[in-house]
Amino acid sequence: MTERFSQVVRQQADAIWESQHSHPFVRGLGTAELPLPCFQYWLVQDYRFLIDYARLLGLGIARASDLATMTQFAELTRTILSVEMTLHRSYAAQFGISTSQLESTPKSPATQAYTDFLIRTATCADFGELVAALLPCMWGFSEIGQRLAQQPAVPNNPYADWIRTYADPEFAQLAQWCCGLFDRLASEAGESGRLRMAEAFLTSSRLEWWFWDAAWKLETWPI
């Protein structure tokens, strides 16, 4: 059986992904040792990220070539804007973050770089690269959530709800749907198209790692 292209690029990015799993921010979610300011930083920056992730999915609706894929992207866009961001605001409030803080805090360098890459790819590249660029976020969070959920539970872990969210089987199904779309588009692309898809996947994987690292270091603009 021919290896799925999603597994090929996942292996190519393995060092990056394993660096995410071993990152002190991610490990701290599971051990409950993550400093609260780091998580608060992440919550704010993730909210800023989600706004542009919804834009990315909206562009995906326009770029998709079939009605089924358009419908799925439309549903994902609606879910982020109408459900996930509402839940995010409620969750952030539990950690002392107001809606005005979520909406007024500037993007960090990592968030700016990541969202700029996503929107540029969605606008200028082909649909296969768009899917490749969004896949590491969806797939990576599912993998992180599942690994953390397999660890012994820490009593009164303030991040337990976060782990449950991304370990949810429905989230894993969504990630697998995206992997399947990625594989189908890769099978339809030529060799040069697959190389571009692989590069977009690797770039987003690097930016995912940077996003965790920025929250761990409370990164700000140097000037």
Spatial contact of 16 and 144, defined as CB atoms under 8 Å apart: no
Task: Give the separation between CA 96 and CA 107, rounded to whole angstroms.
Answer: 19
Structure tokens given for 11: 């292996």
Mark the ranges of the chain whose per-residue pLDDT is less than 70.
1
Q: What is the pLDDT of residue 1?
A: 44
Write the CATH number for 63: 1.20.910.10
- Tell me the C-alpha distance between 55 and 57, whole Å: 5
Whether 24 is in a domain gets the answer no
Does 17 fall in a domain? no
- In the structure encoding, which two tokens stand for residue 147, read together? 């690994």
Residue 123 lies in a domain: yes
In a 3-state reduction of DSSP, which class is residue 151?
coil
The residue among 51, 75, 79, 49 whose CA lies nearest residue 64 is 75
The answer to the question of residue 205 being in a domain is: yes
pLDDT for residue 142 = 96
219 given a catalytic annotation:
no
- For residue 54, the enclosing domain spans 36-217
Report the C-alpha gap between 97 and 103 in whole angstroms: 11
Assess if residue 154 is contained within a domain.
yes
Question: How many domains does the structure of the chain reveal?
Answer: 1
**16, part of any domain:** no
Can you give the pLDDT at residue 185? Answer: 97
For residue 112, tell me if it sits in a domain. yes
The pLDDT value recorded for residue 83 is: 86
In the prediction, which pLDDT does 2 show?
Answer: 73
Which of 75, 129, 170, 208 is labelled catalytic? Answer: 208
**Residue 23 within any structural domain of the chain:** no
Angstrom CA distances, 140 to 123, 134, 179, 198, 208, stand at 23, 10, 11, 15, 8
Buried b / exposed e along 147-186 (16+ C-beta atoms within 10 A): ebeeeeeeeebebbebbeebbeeebbebbeebbebbbebb
**Could you give the CA distance from residue 4 to residue 94 in angstroms, rounded to a whole number?**
41
